[in-house]
Amino acid sequence: MTVEEARSNVEFSEDLVASAYRELKQNVKRVGESAADASAFELKKRTFAPLLISLIGIFLLFGLWYLGLPLIAGGIYLAYRLRGPAKALDDDVKELQKELNEAIAKNNNI
């Protein structure tokens, strides 16, 4: 093998490694974004479902007030109780995503 062939092989290998590293960074960013989206959806889900119960209670308030009042109160209470842990999880995931993006930016080149 000549020196030129060796250089060519080394450059080709460096290009492959650099390409693989770029793909790895992109995939890591996608995973972070996917986790953030999932935690945001969980937060919405845990808040929306109990508030839907309250909305049903409001509609029942006009006809069956004795059923509507507990549904309204229960829905608001459930939304309050379920939102806290979901919000904490969402904040944790966003903080981890921020750390992940900082680590990617810090190690931009291989």
Q: Flag whether 14 is in a domain.
A: no
**Residue 87 located in a structural domain:** yes
User: Between 3-61 and 65-106, two packed helices, what is the crossing angle to 10 degrees?
Assistant: 170
Number of domains composing the chain = 1
Q: What is the pLDDT of residues 11-55, one digit of tens each?
A: 888 888 888 888 988 888 898 889 888 888 988 888 888 888 888
What share of the chain has pLDDT > 70, as a percent? 99
Question: What single letter denotes the amino acid at residue 39?
Answer: S
Alpha-carbon gap, residue 67 to 57, rounded angstroms: 7
Determine the structural domain holding residue 91 and report its residue range.
39-110
Residue-averaged pLDDT of the chain? 86
107 found inside a domain? yes
In a domain, 1, yes or no: no
Core vs surface per residue 11-28: b (16+ CB within 10 A) or e: eeeeeeeeeeeeeeeeee
Assign 75 a pLDDT band (cuts: 50, 70, 90).
Answer: confident
Structure-token pair, residue 80: 């309050």
**Overall average pLDDT of the 63-69 stretch:** 82
Whether residue 109 is predicted with pLDDT greater than 80 in this model: the reply is no
